[in-house]
């Protein structure tokens, strides 16, 4: 799972998703998670399959037009932060603080 940490060892590997947005468009994006505590990072690793599952379900209701906007991308980030923190039973202070896109492509 793509987790940002303060330790050395190079850049984290992003978690990459590819989705069909209806009949004619696809979206692909990479995510890196920043956490408030090392414990939250451990929890994200433990719950990675569930988080991926929930992101897939979240994306099934997304609109291509909305995702093409800055506002839509920011809303998606907030939704991913909220669902991740819900899964690991943390809040934004101790759990997932930020989710960063490493790429975002719609075609």
**For the whole model, what pTM was predicted?**
0.87
Please state, in angstroms and rounded to a whole number, the distance separating the CA atoms of residues 56 and 6.
28
Give the tens place of pLDDT for each residue, 63-101: 899 999 999 999 999 999 999 999 999 999 999 999 999
Give the tens place of pLDDT for each residue, 15-61: 999 998 877 889 999 999 999 999 999 999 999 999 999 999 999 88
Percentages of the chain per state (helix, strand, coil), in multiples of 5: 40, 25, 30
């Amino acid at each position: 799972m793509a987790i940002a940490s303060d330790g050395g060892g190079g850049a984290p590997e992003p978690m990459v998703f590819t989705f069909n947005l209806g009949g004619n468009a696809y979206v692909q994006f990479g995510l890196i998670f920043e956490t408030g505590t090392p414990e939250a990072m451990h929890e994200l690793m433990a719950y990675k399959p569930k988080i991926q599952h929930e992101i897939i379900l979240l994306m099934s209701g997304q609109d291509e037009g909305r995702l093409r906007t800055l506002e839509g991308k920011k809303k998606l980030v907030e939704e991913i932060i909220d669902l991740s923190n819900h899964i690991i039973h943390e809040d934004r202070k101790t759990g997932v603080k930020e989710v960063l896109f490493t790429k975002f492509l719609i075609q």
